[in-house]
Amino acid sequence: MSKKDICSYDYEELREEIERIGEPSFRSRQIYEWLHVKLTDRFQDMTNLSKKLRERLCEEYEIAKVEVIEHQVSKMDPTEKFLFELGDGNMIESVLMRYSYGNSVCISSQAGCRMGCRFCASTIGGLKRNLTPSEMLRQIYQIQRLSKERVSNVVVMGTGEPLDNYDNFVKFIRMLSDGHGLHISQRNITASTCGIVPNIHRLASEGLQITLALSLHGATQEKRRQLMPVADRYSLEEVLEACDVYFRKTGRRVTFEYSLVAGVNDGPDDVRDLTAILKDRNCHVNLIPVNPVKERDYRKPNSKIALDFENKLEKNGINVTIRRERGSDIDGACGQLRRRYAAANVRRTR
């Protein structure tokens, strides 16, 4: 019989589970604290539980394995990258970025991805599987433990499409922000989606306060389709409408991400089209000069073109920033560490 994934039980579910196995409810509070506050990864270390209970937990439950395989520290900026191995051998990556306002961790929501965005390294090997809530949480827990520094912000912008793993993702958000756990404010959590419209609508009704980031990358339906296969399923108009609903229902301003790709979406008509769709929206635009991916031949525009693009949007009254690149010396960008690791393993096993 496979062991139960104890870190994916939320506070209430753990209480029911521990009562079900005949233990008093204060035990579940202790266990929850070991798992989600003290960030323990072994039942043996839960020293205020009886030896008998610890042994029982060991037999019937597991603390999801998220084990550091590689840890890279950037020499250029205060950024660190972690490659983790999961219980079934899948690899995922996370990034720690230190800012003046606190430490931010970028996590993966799936092992691989099936969305197929043309410039993205994470989608190249396809989707392996969804991550469980515990596997999403424990990326953050491991980083907080190893760095011995508090994580105050979380972005779900690593490998995977969170809204393609909807239930686990929403549960993860609730557990991460729960006062019984790390208690990270939902306002300090951002989740990025390629635009799965029905699930944006669902998310808008969850009563959450997280920031939604929408990967736009093209300001017309045609342009978007060139870069993102998901645009074949949902029109630009539907995606923008869903973002408006998200803003109306949550009061949270949506961020639009726009990866600048030289010669593809960085021209004067692109600025014009982008202005046209965003000028009456209360939003923020994040320009990301595309990170070159070995397997693809997309390039970033030179910095003058990127700055011009930003200035023109700004002049048109649009709230915009260019995302400063972090950790480029450590495969810092977008699924590249996991990719390099996968490629190296293929070579080794041949």
Enumerate binding residues for ligand SAH (CB under 6 A). 115, 117, 119-120, 157, 161, 192-194, 215, 257, 259, 288, 290-291, 293, 334
Cα distances (Å, whole numbers) of residue 167 to 8, 15, 109, 137, 246:
12, 20, 11, 14, 18
In whole angstroms, how close is the CB of 18 to ligand SAH at the nearest point?
35
- R_g of the chain computed on alpha carbons: 21
306 contacts 278 by C-beta, under 8 angstroms:
no
Q: Can you tell me the distance from the alpha carbon of 54 to that of 321, in angstroms, rounded to the nearest whole number? A: 51
User: By C-beta, is 117 or 219 nearer to ligand SAH?
Assistant: 117
User: By C-beta, is 285 or 334 nearer to ligand SAH?
Assistant: 334
In whole angstroms, how close is the CB of 19 to ligand SAH at the nearest point?
38
Q: Where are the alpha helices (DSSP H) in 195-261?
A: 197-204, 221-227, 236-250
User: By C-beta, is 133 or 289 nearer to ligand SAH?
Assistant: 289
User: By C-beta, is 23 or 161 nearer to ligand SAH?
Assistant: 161
Q: Can you tell me the distance from the alpha carbon of 229 to that of 231, in angstroms, rounded to the nearest whole number? A: 5
Tokens of 222: 């045609």
Tokens of 158: 């690593």
Among 298, 333, 306, CA closest to 322: 306
By CB atoms closer than 10 A (0-12, 13-18, 19+), residue 269 is exposed
Among 334, 205, 194, CA closest to 258: 194
Tokens of 91: 């690899």
User: By C-beta, is 9 or 258 nearer to ligand SAH?
Assistant: 258
> Which contacts qualify for 65-74: CB closer than 8 Å, 24 or more apart?
66/92, 66/135, 66/138, 66/139, 66/141, 66/142, 68/142, 68/146, 69/341, 70/337, 70/341, 71/146, 72/327, 72/330, 72/331, 72/337, 73/330, 74/326, 74/327, 74/329, 74/330, 74/332
Catalytic residue among 93, 135, 161, 310: 93
User: By C-beta, is 8 or 259 nearer to ligand SAH?
Assistant: 259
In whole angstroms, how close is the CB of 196 to ligand SAH at the nearest point?
9
User: By C-beta, is 141 or 258 nearer to ligand SAH?
Assistant: 258
Catalytic residue among 113, 194, 283, 334: 334
Tokens of 341: 């690791």
Active site residue 7: no
Tokens of 242: 């869903």
Active site residue 12: no
In whole angstroms, how close is the CB of 155 to ligand SAH at the nearest point?
8
In whole angstroms, how close is the CB of 119 to ligand SAH at the nearest point?
5
In whole angstroms, how close is the CB of 138 to ligand SAH at the nearest point?
19
In whole angstroms, how close is the CB of 192 to ligand SAH at the nearest point?
4
Just list the catalytic residues: 93, 334
